Every structure is written in structure tokens, then in C-alpha cells.
Structure 1
Amino acid sequence: NIIRQIYKSKTRQERHEELVAFGIAGGVTQVQKAHDIAGGKGAIHLNVLWEMGGAERVLHGILEATKGLVHGVTCGAGMPYRISEIAQKYNVYYYPIVSSVRAFRALWLRAFNKASALLGGVVYEDPWLAGGHNGLSNSENPLQPEAPYPRVLALRKQMREYGLDETPIVMAGGVWQLSEWEDWIDNPELGPIVFQFGTRPLLTKESPIPDNWKKRLTTIKTGDVALNKFSPTGFYSSAVRNDFLDTLYARSDRQIGYAVEANGSFTESFKTGPVGKPIFIQGEDASKAEGWKSAGFTTVLRTPESTLIFVTPEDAKKIKASQAACMGCLSQCQFSNWSQHGPNYTTGRMADPRSFCIQESLQNVAHEGDVEDFLLFAGHNAYRFGEDPFYKDGFVPTVTQLVERIMTGQ
């Protein structure tokens, strides 16, 4: 049973402490349960979002309480320099997630070279195809996907320079069936390769996601999974294009620039706020603003990038309530301007109303919330649930049945 986290403290620093304690307790329970189920037949790994609030504290807490039960830690969504140090302390393997050779090189030179013996593998996550948060950099175009083979080969060449010839690379993102990757298997150019299946295990009997989420997976069509940058982490992420995501797209579309003083093309006076304090917008945007207000989007919110967005009064209240209820689930959050670092526990930037509370949304969808109303992470191959004959007539396999199917190449 998934236990919903309910926060009782008044300040977000105190709620953050609740979150860390809950994360440790939940992680320990998960490890112990996995150990009992495995019965000594499989490796047990933790998968950690490095930009999660209190990530290092949670990792230490879980590993300290489960010594001998955890075999490895997979870690991405950020630059996890200190994961090797943590792995050394508890004598577990670590598996960094990277999306480019440049990222791995930086990690190796700064930290990983000091703990090479425990580097169990390097996860290459395709930033255009993987579900959840992706590692697209500013030098890469989100609209121009690059084939994974040359990028993984570049990673292998760099690893060989560091003496990591036999360290496996885990290919993650876009993997549906092994028959499509035959040229990668036993390929001396690539060296040892492992494949990660992240989306397919969601639709299994043992998967803890609610039934309405599982049913939604079978109706996803080609192109329904969108690569977007609404996450409060600041990273790109891939999720199902539902009403929730459409609302965020529409919110950002109702956006214009502004200046606090008239200058250049910002000459049109525009009043905002309860006292009607004037700011200045471009003349060409005046008709847009009036049109949005006439359509009911009468509340104007400022963003950190000197733009205005137009929302309904009801949405404005929800946005502000979510920001006020922040529990510090990230190391730093664009939506609420939370930072886990004191003394002020703030990023110093204006909170961004174009984003959303990711903890709130994921908690709700995990507890049988409407799959149209909350964030629904998925890889870009999720549409294949509806096309693969294995899932015909609504068949939901057990994990064992799925693994057996995968081992046939399908």
C-alpha cells in the first residue's frame, strides 16, 4: 500500500524535515520488502533523483539502516558528484545516469576516479526518448533528436581512456524489445551493454501505480508523450500530454513581456495588481492582453523572466496555495523559490507560476487521482502498449511473464 505523505508543520523548512524523515522510513521499508521478495535471487538497487530535497541525507539514512541489503545506487537528474563517496562509505556499487560523454567526463575527473572499483556501470539515458526527467543540455536541440549509437560509442571511447573497458553501459530510453537492438549486443565496438526497461514494468500486476494509470497506458497514441520544460527542477522531462500538461502549455502561451518603466518598444501602460500599479508592455501585446482578460483570464502573474501570464482567479489561488504549501521536495525549486540551503532557504529568485508543484501532482496521481489532472511521466515508446500483441485484450502480465517475454527478444 502506498502511504500518502501528509505534512503537519507550518513552515516549509519544517515540512522539509518531515519529507526527509518520511523518505528514509519509506526507503527502508521498500528495501526490506524487496529483500524479502527477492529471496537472495536478485540485486537490490536504490534509484535516487539527485536534485531531490535532502537526497544525500535520505541516502545515508536508508543505507545506514539497511546495511548488507542494498547492492547498488542508481542516481541521476543532476550531477551526482558525491554519490561515489557515499557508495564507498557503505561499500555498494554506484551507477550514475548521464546523457552525454561530457557529463560523465566531468563526474569522473572531479570525483569518480577516486572510487572506480565501485563504479558498477554507467547509465546512458537518451534525453529525447526516456520518460521522466531528461539530461538535455543547452547545446542540444529538444526538437532535433540524435541517434543513441554515436553518443553511446563516444561514451565508451571516453571510458576506455579511463580504463573502464569492461564497465557496462546501461542503455535507457527508447528500449522496448531486444530484437531491435541486436547490433548492440556482443558488439566489440560498444563493449558490455545492458538494457533498461523503464516504461514496460509500469504495466504489470506488481506495479504499484493505480489501475486508472495502467488503463491510460494502453490508450496512449504516437506523439502523446511530450518533451517539455515545465518541471520545477528546470530540467526537461517527458510526460503524457493530458489536460494537466495542456493547461501548462496554455498558461505559457498567454504570456507577454513587460518593463517596470517605459523604454524602447515597451510604451503601452498596463495596470496590474489590486491597486492597479502601471507597468509597460509592447503595443502589439495590448490587444492580446485585453482578449485574454475578456476570456476570463483576468489575474496577471509575474514571472522571473520579466513576463506576465494571464490566468483565471481560481487558477491563481491554486498556484499561490501550492507555492505556500511547499514542502521542499527538491534541492531547489523554480515554482516556489525554495532552496534546501540556509539561512534563508530560498533561491533568491521570484517564484515561477508557469511551473507546478511536482510533489503534489505525483502524490495525487499515485493515489488514484484523475490521470488527466496530474503529471503522468512516461517514455516516448509508451504508445506501443496499444500496438504490442502481448497486451491484447487488456492483458496485464506479472513481472515474471514480462521478463520471460523480454528474453524472447519481444
Structure 2
Amino acid sequence: MLRIGRYEVRYPLIQGGMGVRISGGNLAGHVAKCGGVGLVAAAGIAMNSSFYNGRNYFQAETAAFKEELRKAYAIAPDGVIGVNVMVALSDFEALVKAAIEGGAKVIVCGAGLPLSLPELTAHAPEVALVPIASSVRAAQLIARTWEKRYQRLPDAVVIEDPDTAGGHLGEKLENIGTGEYDQYATIRAVKQFFRDEYAAEIPVIAAGGIWDRADLERALSEGADGVQMASRFVVTEECDADPAFKQAYLNCKQEDIGLLMSPAGLPGRAIVANTTAIRQYDLDHHTPCRMNCLKKCSYKESGERFCIVTALDRAQRGDVESGLVFCGTNAWKAERIGTVQEVFDELFGE
């Protein structure tokens, strides 16, 4: 059982937000139906949607976001369904507003410090607010800022392990993989901070590298109140990605997974064998920055690296040769396409 704000789920599991329609309404709805927290990822949700005509990206983003939430609630009408909204997105504020209008019960925010999130959600105090951090210092800064400015604490905190998590990582590239980071020491310290400073029991969630029951049980035994799991749900029938995207997980080897620098200025973890092809695609097709999807983007500003939203979109549609396939370090463990229910049965079955 896991309680986040006013909401309680049967199992201590949040499905991680995977942008550009990897975790859309179908996956989020089925996770919620099975007793976890299902998240629709906001980033690039307009892409490959009926709302986007190539010229109306921001308008299509909010419309598509609310449509995916509607799909999720059609699957799990009473489920705990939330969203993941990256702080780095240009339309961060509009997407938070759309999430509330779409009925999201939980808003999870990473890829930056969501210092203004309580102000953006002040009209919806029932919505649980969950920042993602990798350090005690970041969690303290968020909590102190929220409490001082808005008299509100996080309803939970996700502590992401940059050494194992997939997608964008909230740590400097040179600090990842050094062996110095201790996720569970960080989790215990964050829990103690809330006890000491606010006399509050705030759930702290472990994210990154959670694949099987042993990983889950270790996280709980080390002091986490729950886990956030993303990559494991890619290889399910309900995941919103194209079958070729899922097959990339089945085909990859451990050595195929590595780090790259995103044009967002953040390191990311992905299947990196095709990174040259991603850059070459933009050069060959003279791909312009049409979306302006990120507040800060080296591709938008100088043409450096690649257009990340179109690279992720190509992969989500099935072009994994020139598309970007984000994943965590354990994606190579995928052996078959199962169902969300089978994942829950393995993790929580008697």
C-alpha cells in the first residue's frame, strides 16, 4: 500500500513517465487498474497525435495531454492516474494546467527544480505534488522553498538513481557511474530531513534500476516507501510504443546501453548504438526546430546535437534505426512481451 497526499493505491508502485507517447493513456490506465499509480508523460505528447498538424505544437500538446488522461480514466475510472511534466519543457505551466483540467490526481516533476509548482496548482489543493530529485540538497531546496513561499510540502519525493535510471538524468555527466552515489543513503537522509525539520512522514520513492521482485524488496528493505518503475513496462502489450520500440529492448545487450548528452543540456541513458544515425537524420533531412519544445536546447540555439523530440517520436513510431530509444540500465533483461498484470503478479504475488 502507498499513500500520496489524499490518494492511496494497493501497491507501492508508480509507473515512471516516459515521454513522447511511450507512457500514454493506455499504459497509465492499465497500471492504475492493477493497483499502482499510472502516469501519462507530458513531453512531446502532441507528436503522433490527431491534434498536431505540424504547425500547432503547443495547442496540440494540451489537447493531446487531456485526451490521454481521458483514455486512462476510461480504463481505470477509480484509479490513481497522474502525470509526469518535465520542468525543462517550454510549455511546463500550460501542461500543469492541462493536467489539472484533465483530472490528474498526482503531478510528478523532474528535469529541473519545480519551485513554482504549488503556485501553479493552488486552485487544486487535492492534486498531489511529487518532485523528482537525486540529492538531499535538491530535496531540501524544494521543500524549504515550497514551505516558505506556499506553506506546502511535497506529498512524496522520488529519488532517482542517475547510475541506473533511463531518459533524462538530473546529474552532471561526469558524476554518473563513479560508484560514489548511494541512492538508499539519500532516501534515508531525505526521510530524516522531513522528520527533523517538519515532523512529517513524507513518502520517499526509489527510482532507477527497479526491474524485478528482488529490486523491489531491496528498495523497501533499505527504507524506500515505494518504487518508480519505467523500463520494465515498455515490454508490455499495453505500452503505447510501437512494437519495434519494444523489440529494441528485447534485442539490446547490456553493452548497448549508455549515456549521451541531450540537447536539453542534461545527460540521458539510452540504447546508444544508433546515436550517429540520429544526428545524420537531421543533417540529411534539414530538420528545423519547429516545436520550440524545450526552454533550453542546443539544437534550437545552434544546430548542435539533434532534435530530441523528433528523434524520440521516430522511435516511438517504430523507426528505431534513426530514432532515440531511452531506457534504464536493466532494459537488456527484457526477454518477452508480457502484460501489465503479469508484472504486478511477479512483483506482488503471494
Classify the TM-score, shorter chain.
0.7 to 0.9
3-state SS, counterpart of residue 329 of structure 2? coil
3-state SS, counterpart of residue 330 of structure 1? coil
Hey, what does 1:404 align to over in structure 2? 345
Hey, what does 2:44 align to over in structure 1? none
CA distance in 1, matches of 2:221, 2:164: 23
- Choose the corresponding residue for 2:329, options 363, 380, 390: 380
Divergent runs of 4+, >6 A: none
Hey, what does 2:21 align to over in structure 1? none
Hey, what does 2:64 align to over in structure 1? 26
Hey, what does 1:15 align to over in structure 2? none
CA distance in 2, matches of 1:246, 1:52: 25
- Choose the corresponding residue for 1:218, options 250, 261, 265: 250
Q: Percent identity?
A: 26
CA distance in 2, matches of 1:164, 1:33: 39
Hey, what does 1:50 align to over in structure 2? 87
Q: Kindly indicate whether the alpha-carbon contact (under 8 Å) linking 2:282 and 2:306 is maintained by their aligned counterparts in 1.
A: no
3-state SS, counterpart of residue 237 of structure 1? strand
Paired amino acid for 2:96: L
Q: Structure 1, residues 357-383: CA drift from partner, whole Å, max 9, x if none?
A: 0111112112222x1211100001101
Paired amino acid for 2:98: G
Q: How many residues align?
A: 302
Paired amino acid for 2:112: G
Hey, what does 1:366 align to over in structure 2? 316
Change (3 A) 1:49 1:19: same
Q: Normalising by structure 2, report the TM-score.
A: 0.79
Q: Which runs of 5+ in 2 are unaligned?
A: 1-25, 27-47
- Choose the corresponding residue for 2:307, options 354, 357, 369: 357
Q: Kindly indicate whether the alpha-carbon contact (under 8 Å) linking 2:257 and 2:270 is maintained by their aligned counterparts in 1.
A: yes
Query: What does 1:305-344 align with in structure 2 at a 5 Å threshold?
Result: 316=283, 318=285, 321-322=286-287, 324-337=288-301
Hey, what does 2:213 align to over in structure 1? 178
Shift of 1:223: 2.4
Q: Which runs of 5+ in 1 are unaligned?
A: 10-17, 252-311, 338-350
CA distance in 1, matches of 2:198, 2:221: 19
Paired amino acid for 1:56: E
Shift of 1:39: 2.3
Q: Would you say 1:79 and 2:109 are equivalent positions?
A: no
CA distance in 1, matches of 2:199, 2:349: 30
CA distance in 2, matches of 1:46, 1:316: 33
Q: Structure 1, residues 290-328: CA drift from partner, whole Å, max 9, x if none?
A: xxxxxxxxxxxxxxxxxxxxxx9x97454xx22x34320
Structure number with bigger Rg: 1
Paired amino acid for 1:148: Q
Q: Kindly indicate whether the alpha-carbon contact (under 8 Å) linking 2:258 and 2:272 is maintained by their aligned counterparts in 1.
A: yes
Shift of 1:23: 1.0
Query: What does 1:239-258 align with in structure 2 at a 5 Å threshold?
Result: 239-243=270-274, 245-247=275-277
Paired amino acid for 1:35: Y
Hey, what does 1:280 align to over in structure 2? none
CA distance in 2, matches of 1:21, 1:237: 27
Q: Kindly indicate whether the alpha-carbon contact (under 8 Å) linking 1:131 and 1:378 is maintained by their aligned counterparts in 2.
A: yes
Q: CA RMSD in A?
A: 2.5
CA distance in 2, matches of 1:222, 1:144: 18
- Choose the corresponding residue for 1:98, options 133, 138, 141: 133
Q: Normalising by structure 1, report the TM-score.
A: 0.68
Tell me whether 328-337 or 172-181 shows the greater mean CA deviation: 172-181
Q: Kindly indicate whether the alpha-carbon contact (under 8 Å) linking 2:51 and 2:63 is maintained by their aligned counterparts in 1.
A: no
3-state SS, counterpart of residue 336 of structure 1? helix
Q: Structure 1, residues 346-405: CA drift from partner, whole Å, max 9, x if none?
A: xxxxx142x110111112112222x1211100001101114xxxx3xxxx2221122111
